[in-house]
Structure 1
Amino acid sequence: MTIPFNRFPLLVQIEVLRQLGFQDIFLLSLTSEKMRNLIQFIKLKPKKVQYALSDNGIQVSVGFTGDDRDFHHMANMRHVPQISVKERKQVNLGGVKIQSRCSREKDRLTHCRNVKCRCTKKPPTQIWTHVLEYLEKEDDNVLEFLQTHLESLFANQPPSQLKIESTNSLQSSEIIDNVTDTIFSLDELETAEIKHFLTVRPNQKSVEIHSDLTGRPLKRISKLFKVPGLAIHESGSMTSKYMDNFSGRCLLLFNANLTSSAWITLIEKWKNKTAYHKLHAVVTRIPGNVFQEFDFGELLFESNAFPWDGLRRPRNFMFDPRIPSYRSKSIDCSDWFDIQQNGGEKWASIQIINDKIMFFVWD
């Protein structure tokens, strides 16, 4: 005999919900206000929420640990040009079921209208079990409605991470609140767009750029170089400029094109305390053989670097970039070369590992 879910005692219902995956919890929360309220008893407390925005739609994942790459998929929404009347369903996306109506209080969305959509089941081998499809004409509203809906399910107010995959989603991303970390994954990204983005969101903890940067070169005063964690995947001929202008905590540069002079300048400024006061690490990665394209001996000589003596600092460095795509890890620096800041204060260590030049500052 089948027993309807709503006939179970409240504690049993809550325990059943706790056993579900996050995608199932999200879909159930759309069925009714009663179910949404019931889900609130689970007291979900994610440490972070990631919104991946593309031209096709929105994907939301949640993380519950300190590991920035430990995410659970929760909501997958995709816009489509049309949905047949037969397939359409109305879902309550936003918490309060009010037909075709939006109301605001203190410039914040507090009620959402119903959204016409259809739910498509995905093959079990895929990481997303379902996709919720909605009409393209709803694009301007769905992202705002979705954030409001998710906030109603959480027992806390976690920070948001953005992954932006198109120019259109870059514009719509301004709707998302409490953003602390951003990944740009467009083919091309105008430097003017970065300037606008960081003007709207000046308190970024990290920015990661996978795009080719176009437009006027960024100046030293750019807010981008003040972001604590910065990763640029196509730094190319601008690598030396990025190193010279950076004033944050951790700088990661990939596909770098540079000479030893850029590193000598950086280390000299750090030693003299004229720049890089908050520095934790700088890593540059070049596409070719480092030793063929980089005079490491010259750098060590000019920086007055010498091998570790086994005493002056710990053997292992805790590399903690605080950039979502990169995990913290302990790195053995026993064969690294050490550099002392003028005045006998801090120590730093440098080494070439495979195709990377790595510079760490010890606390």
Structure 2
Amino acid sequence: MNWRKALPFIASVVIIVALVWWAGTEGVLRVLRRTNVYYLIVAVLMYFAGIVTWALRWHVIIKGLGIEVRFRDTLAALFIGVLFNNITPGARGGGEAFRVYYLVKRSNGSYGRLFATVTADRILDLIPVMIMLVIAAIYVYSLGFTGLFAVILLLTLMLVGLTGLATLIITSERRVRRILYMIFNLLARLIPSKIKKHEEKFHNLVDTNIPHFTEGLRIVVRDKKTFLLSTFYSFLTWAFVVLRNYFVFVSLGYKIGLLAVVTVQMIATTVGIISVIPGGAGITEAVTSGVYVALGVTREMAVTSSILDRIISFWLPLILGTIVVTHLGLKPKED
């Protein structure tokens, strides 16, 4: 076993155990025993509904670039992407290349154009997040939680700054090339024996696909139908995310306001994006539990709901993604 790779997951388990101890093991078990399975199933269905609308959003973007691909392949690629997002640092960050790799020979799209669809998908995903962060900030300020308001404001500014910087880079072919060459040269200095032999192939890939990438992004932005429909699916996806968490609370017999769920979900999402732990495992549970307690939820209820929600949104897709990879494989099919 590679202990360095396993360490983040071990750390996440330690954090979860510490949370249960903090909340009181007996209290957490008492809350779990009164779980309404039917409402918990509804929460699971909300998760799958969110995945389907996410896949529909990406599929609309793909079709907007004239790329032909079956929806079931788009959905399978998304599950594979979620799997690798959950085992690499940064929420929803590490799996994007695997999405492209899976679809490139299952469609008529090039690497560059498919990367453009993934990038557009990620940008459109952030529109409802930023809006809900503003709503969350107004909500906690109205309740008098100035400290929490400051945290949300800081996270919002960080997210806007990172998004703005990323947009500035990806909209310029010259800047994209410069960043890619900087990364390649850095890797070549660190591990020359493994990187140098791929230099010619790397240059060919960059020269061929970067123009497709920047052109694809421009097409998505200018196509009003694609932009509006995919944005609609973005809001629908996040509505299902909020409802998933809400029904977890309902399954535990606890009444909670939707605005409280929105607040916690947006803070956890933003922290997860910048987390160095794969998928934000452990960190997300700690953040959601802490914020729920700050909003007046009991410790045992906050921790139990956070763990159940993460079983649905992290561990379940981890298992499903592994099944998809095992059954379908990652290697592109030959024509």
Please give the range of the TM-score, normalised by the shorter of the 2 chains: under 0.3
Higher helix share: 2
TM-score relative to the length of structure 2: 0.18
Higher strand share: 1
Q: Which has the larger radius of gyration?
A: 1
TM-score relative to the length of structure 1: 0.17
